[in-house]
Amino acid sequence: MTNFRFLHVADIHLDSPLTGLARYEGLPVDDVRAATRSAFDNMIDFARRAAVDFVIIAGDLFDGDWRDMGTGLYLARQMGRLEQAGIAVYVLQGNHDAASVVTKSLPWPGNVHRFGSRSPQTFRIEALGVALHGWSFAHQAAPDNLAVRYPAAAAGMFNIGVLHTSLSGRPGHASYAPCELADLRSRGYDYWALGHVHTFECVCEDPPVIFPGNVQGRNIRETGAKGGVLVDVEDGVISSIEPVHFDVLRWARVVVDCDGCDTMEDLQVRLREALAAARTAETADRGLIARVTLSGATSLAGTLADSQSQLRDDARAHAGAISPDLWIEKVQVRTSTPVAAVQAELSEDVAALLASAARDGELLEALAQELAPFLVATAAAQPPEEEDMRHAASVGDWSGVAQAAASGLLVRLGRAG
């Protein structure tokens, strides 16, 4: 057996847009829009530079509902660059690819080998003594355990299993080709190149069963570094498995602890510090998109909840001042009123009236009636997150809406008085 190295990536989702990031002055819109392509470019550059022997793409090259042939041609050109460098590519079709019309129509260069979807297929690289086993998705849904039908390891070869799967279930990921680790191990392969889960995960070390994560985070749920895995094999034995990063923009959650914060000035200081710390903590030379969450118990809770738009502007301004590579996705106010102050609303006055808002059927009905058309008219907007008022409204939790409105209102009226 000889020595060789390969690159394992998955979930490219080429040209799928970054979501949840509203445009604003200072946001590098061109970089944002080209992020998945840039990350993919980085991957190609890396493969050429590192002179890998082959590349494995374990599914989801494209977004399933994306129908632009331009994207496919771009991919084909990049594959062509690998071909020029003599690098073979083994492509497995994931759930998105199965649905993609682009995949079906693309003129694949000669160095690209695609696993079949009728049954497991094995590609043998005799010069390297490598056997790659893979089974592409024929349909968008793959409810069956595909792994158990993979062939047994080829004797005297370095066996790699390529599979797009959610294993026995991964939070936030739909179930595809479910299987257990034991199913994978039973094949006797030397390496399992998985795809589908967008976060790097080393499921097992012996044999290595690895999700490389996607190459570029596309929303706040895909935080942290993104890229692939570089695997070195010496005399048929893996000598190193190294995660490599290709992303150009990175998502981060920045929690600002507002506990005991009494003034807006104080809050601004904490906000700035938290953002600066987040920027500093991210040592890689990449753009950082931050989701700011204000948390903790503070007397400003109501004020903050009532001035989210201003807070977003403030956070953007701070970010711009801290670094030209730091941007704000959103500011979430998740602060609570201190316990003592909460009791304040229980006396029989206007505050008490507002405090009782969440339990008043008449108000809840008025809210439902007034806001129902709005919910219908704005259905196309970015879906709300679970803590958002809009989420409460959309599931008919008018009590929650009234609660939030009343607490903000109390502060607002206090200010106004």
Partner 1 sequence: MRIRRLSLERFGRFEGCELAFRSGTPDLHVIYGPNEAGKTTSMAAVSDLLFGFEARSRYNFRFDYPLLRIGAEVEEDGRSLAVRRRKANAGSLVDADDRQMDEGPLLAMLHGQTRERFRLAFSLDHLRLREGGRAIVQARDDVGQALFAAGSGMTDVVDALAALEAEADAIWAPRAARHRTYTQAERSFDASRTAARDRQVRPKAWTDARDAHLAAEDARCAAEAERDALLSEQGRIERLRRIAPAMRRRAELLELLAGSADAKTMPAAREERVVAALDVIAAADRNRAAAATLHAEAQDRLDNVPDDAMALFAADEIDDLAERRGAVTKGSTDLERLTIERQARQARVAQLRSDLGLSDAAPPARPAVARLRELAKAYGEATAGLRAAAETEEDARARLLPLERRLADAQLSEGLDLLIAAVDAARRLGDDVDVRHAAALRAAAEAHEAASRALTRLAPWTGGPEDLERLPGMHEDEIGAADAELARLAEAARIAADEVRRVEEELERVALDRQALAGGGQAVSASDLAAARERREALWREVRDALVGSAALSDPAATAEDYSARVDDADLVADRRFAFAADSGQLGLLDRQAGEVALRGAQAARRRDDAQAASRAVTAAWTAHMEGLGFPAMEPARLRGWLADRTLAIETAEQAARLSAQAEAEGARKTASRTALLQAMPDWQPSDDCLAPVLAEAERRRAAGEAQALAYRQDHAEMRQLTDTLADLTRANRRRGDDRIRIEGEWRDVQTAAGTGFAIADGEGVLGLVEELRVEMDAVEALEARMRGIEVDRHGFEMDVVDLWARIGGEGEGSLDRLRGRRASAGIASQAREDLTAERDRRFAEIEAAAATRKAAEDGLRPVVEDLGNIAIEELDAAVQTSRRIRGQRDALAAVIGEITAAGDGLSLDALEEQWTGSDPDAAAARSAGLAPLLADANARVTAAAETASAARIAFAALDEHGDGAAAAAAEAEEARAEMGVQAEAYLLRRSQAVTLRWAVERHRRERQDPLLARAGGLFRRLTLGRYSDLRIDHDSSTPRLLGVTEDGSRAIDVDAMSDGTADQLFLALRLAAVEQSVEAGSRLPFLADDLFINFDDARARAGFEVLAELAGSTQILFFTHHAHLADLARDVVGADLHSRCDLDRQG
Name residues contacting partner 1, limited to 280-339 (CB under 8 A). 299, 305-306, 308-309, 312, 329-330
Residues 80-119 that bind partner 1 (CB under 8 A): 101-102, 104-107
- Residue 191 tokens read as 């390496």
Q: What is the C-alpha to C-alpha distance for residues 260 and 267, in angstroms, rounded to an integer?
A: 10
Tell me which of 49, 110, 169, 340 binds partner 1, using CB under 8 A.
Answer: 340
For 79, 209, 243, 249, the CA distances from 222, given in Å and listed in that order, are 26, 21, 16, 11
Q: Which of 2, 45, 67, 237 binds partner 1 (CB under 8 A)?
A: 67
Q: Does 361 bind partner 1 (CB under 8 A)?
A: no
Q: Would you give the binding string for partner 1 spanning residues 7-36, x where CB under 8 A is met?
A: --------xxxxxxxxx-----x--xxx--
Whether the Cβ atoms of residue 141 and residue 197 lie closer than 8 Å to each other: no
Task: Kindly identify the residues of this chain, within the stretch 168-207, that bind partner 1 according to CB under 8 A.
Answer: none
* Residue of 41, 201, 388, 397 interacting with partner 1 (CB under 8 A): 388
Q: Is 384 in the site for partner 1 (CB under 8 A)?
A: yes
Shortest Å distance, C-beta 313 to partner 1: 11
Residue with tokens 């190609």: 44
Q: Which of 51, 73, 138, 321 binds partner 1 (CB under 8 A)?
A: 73
Q: Determine, following the binding rule CB under 8 A, whether residue 378 of this chain makes contact with partner 1.
A: yes
For partner 1, which is the closer residue by CB, 15 or 190?
A: 15
Task: Decide if residue 127 touches partner 1 (CB under 8 A).
Answer: no
Q: Left (φ > 0), alpha (ψ -120 to 50) or beta: where does 213 sit?
A: left
Residues in 34-53 at the binding interface with partner 1, rule: CB under 8 A: 34, 37
Could you tell me whether strands 121-125 and 208-211 are parallel, antiparallel, or unpaired per DSSP bridges?
unpaired
12 in Cβ contact with 246 (< 8 Å): no
Q: Measured between alpha carbons, how far is residue 228 from residues 44, 71, 145, 255, 352 in Å? A: 11, 21, 25, 28, 56
Nearest Cα residue to 199 out of 224, 176, 230: 224
Among residues 1 and 341, whose Cβ is nearest to partner 1? 341
Indicate whether 160 belongs to the interface with partner 1 (CB under 8 A).
Answer: no
Output the smallest distance, CB 20 to partner 1, in A: 5
Binding mask 238-277 for partner 1 (x = CB under 8 A): ----------------------x-xx-xx-----------
Residue 69 near partner 1 by CB under 8 A: yes
| 194/402 with CB nearer partner 1 | 402
Q: Among 152, 174, 353, 372, which residue interacts with partner 1 (rule: CB under 8 A)?
A: 353
Determine, following the binding rule CB under 8 A, whether residue 405 of this chain makes contact with partner 1. yes
Q: Which of 71, 117, 159, 335 binds partner 1 (CB under 8 A)?
A: 71
Q: How far is the CB of 412 from partner 1 (least distance, A)?
A: 6
CA nearest neighbour of 356 among 417, 410, 302: 410
CB 271 within 8 A of CB 255: no
Q: Give Cβ neighbours of residue 397 (< 8 Å, ≥ 6 apart).
A: none
What DSSP string runs through 90-152? EEE--HHHHH-HHHHH----TTEEE--SSS-EEEEETTTTEEEEE---SSS---S--GGGSPP
Q: Which two tokens stand for residue 406?
A: 């009343």
